[in-house]
């Protein structure tokens, strides 16, 4: 028997817990923490399953609380022509209980959590998300993201009013879904690049995660600027900014060059040690060859660096 008030209380508690978790630890969440979950009325509520992508904790009667994609899943978060994410059925039976549960969530307009796998055992969460379409022929659900702040989701939310289905709301959801998809891909790119570079700056070897970024070699605005490790460099914030602004270049043989006018400049210890001091050194590269900077990308970037030099 479905009790909307009980269901809503659990979902809102899960959203509140995730909000606090992200505020404390950042938005890259380890699977172990999500498995452990949180306590509500003396019961533990997990948000993911050890095995499956569609998960319903025992405390909920019918509808799942979350859906999850694996980092190795080539089908994950594809955008459909309707502007929403496509999430495939569990298995090949449209009437598998997990698929039935998501269908029920769609009919009841229940908010869920979407966990996007970025690397093994690490996820970025988006919530609230809604099932807004069911394509049995393609065995996929359509998933939209919405803005929790706009919906007023929190301790005093009224779940029956979370969705009206008008055109203005659909437009907002399409926009939120597109923005969220970009954010998920950016987080995934950063984590994969940092892991490949052993979580250190390729230029100066700084190891503090909070100060590390994933820099694109070919810019992400470029049609070929794909968010793959071989198009990335793990850089500290200072060197990322210097690289993006062509103060620093990297030759295809992995040698660092500093712009000539900066080499001749006299300023202070930061310029002397952090910029001028790395001229002529070689960058650290990933151990796995397929993760190392692609030669043609470095060539393109180095030529741009030379053209920007005064």
More confident residue, 243 or 70: 243
Mean pLDDT within 4-18: 93
pLDDT, residue 158, reads 45
268 Cα distance to chain centroid: 38
Q: Taking a C-beta distance cutoff of 8 angstroms, is the pair 202, 233 a contact? A: yes
Closest Cα to residue 129, out of 75, 195, 81, 63?
A: 63
Mean pLDDT within 130-148: 91
The span from the CA of 82 to the CA of 263, in Å, is: 52
pLDDT, residue 73, reads 65
| Size (the chain), residues | 310
Q: What is the pLDDT of residues 107-135, one digit of tens each?
A: 998 999 999 998 888 999 999 999 999 99
Record the tokens describing residue 34, joined without a space: 């999500």
**Could you identify the residue written with the tokens 């859906």?**
67
The span from the CA of 67 to the CA of 75, in Å, is: 14
Mean pLDDT within 14-26: 92
The span from the CA of 253 to the CA of 144, in Å, is: 45
61 Cα distance to chain centroid: 30
The span from the CA of 19 to the CA of 113, in Å, is: 12
With 80 as the cut, is the pLDDT of residue 149 above it?
Answer: no
The span from the CA of 265 to the CA of 246, in Å, is: 16
Q: Which residues pair with 46 in a beta bridge?
A: none
pLDDT, residue 83, reads 86
Rounded alpha-carbon distances, angstroms, from residue 306 to 107, 197, 250, 309: 58, 26, 10, 5
Q: What is the pLDDT of residues 150-201, one digit of tens each?
A: 555 544 444 434 445 567 777 888 888 888 888 888 888 999 999 999 999 9
The span from the CA of 256 to the CA of 71, in Å, is: 32
Q: What angle do CA 253, 257, 263 make, to 5 degrees?
A: 160
pLDDT, residue 164, reads 53
pLDDT, residue 104, reads 96
With 50 as the cut, is the pLDDT of residue 75 above it?
Answer: no
Q: What is the pLDDT of residues 22-54, one digit of tens each?
A: 998 888 999 999 999 999 999 999 999 988 899
Give the H/E segment covering residue 43: strand 43-45
Helix (H) and strand (E) counts for the chain? 9, 14
The span from the CA of 231 to the CA of 291, in Å, is: 8
């Amino acid at each position: 028997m479905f009790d909307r008030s009980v269901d809503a209380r659990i979902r809102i508690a899960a959203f509140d817990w995730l909000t606090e978790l992200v505020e404390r630890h950042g938005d890259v969440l380890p699977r172990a923490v999500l498995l452990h979950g949180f306590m509500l009325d003396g019961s533990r509520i997990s948000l993911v399953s050890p095995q499956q992508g569609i998960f319903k904790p025992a405390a909920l009667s019918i509808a799942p609380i979350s859906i999850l994609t694996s980092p190795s899943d080539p089908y994950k978060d594809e955008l459909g022509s309707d502007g929403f994410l496509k999430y495939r059925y569990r298995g090949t039976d449209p009437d598998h209980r997990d698929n039935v549960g998501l269908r029920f969530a769609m009919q009841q307009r229940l908010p869920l959590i979407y966990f996007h796998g970025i690397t093994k055992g690490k996820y970025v969460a988006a919530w609230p998300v809604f099932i807004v379409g069911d394509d049995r022929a393609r065995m996929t659900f359509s998933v939209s993201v919405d803005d929790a702040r706009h919906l007023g989701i929190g301790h005093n939310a009224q779940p029956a009013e979370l969705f009206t289905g008008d055109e203005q709301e659909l437009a907002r959801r399409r926009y939120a879904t597109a923005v969220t998809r970009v954010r998920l891909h950016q987080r995934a790119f950063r984590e994969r690049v940092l892991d490949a570079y052993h979580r250190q700056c390729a230029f100066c070897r700084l190891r503090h995660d909070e100060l590390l970024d994933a820099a694109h070699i070919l810019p992400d605005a470029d049609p070929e600027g794909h968010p793959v490790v071989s198009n990335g460099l793990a850089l500290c914030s200072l060197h990322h900014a210097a690289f993006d602004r062509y103060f620093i270049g990297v030759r295809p043989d992995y040698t660092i060059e500093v712009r000539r006018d900066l080499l001749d400049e006299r300023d202070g210890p930061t310029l002397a040690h952090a910029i001028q001091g790395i001229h002529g050194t070689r960058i650290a590269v990933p151990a796995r060859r397929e993760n190392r900077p692609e030669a043609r990308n470095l060539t393109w970037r180095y030529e741009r660096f030379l053209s920007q030099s005064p």
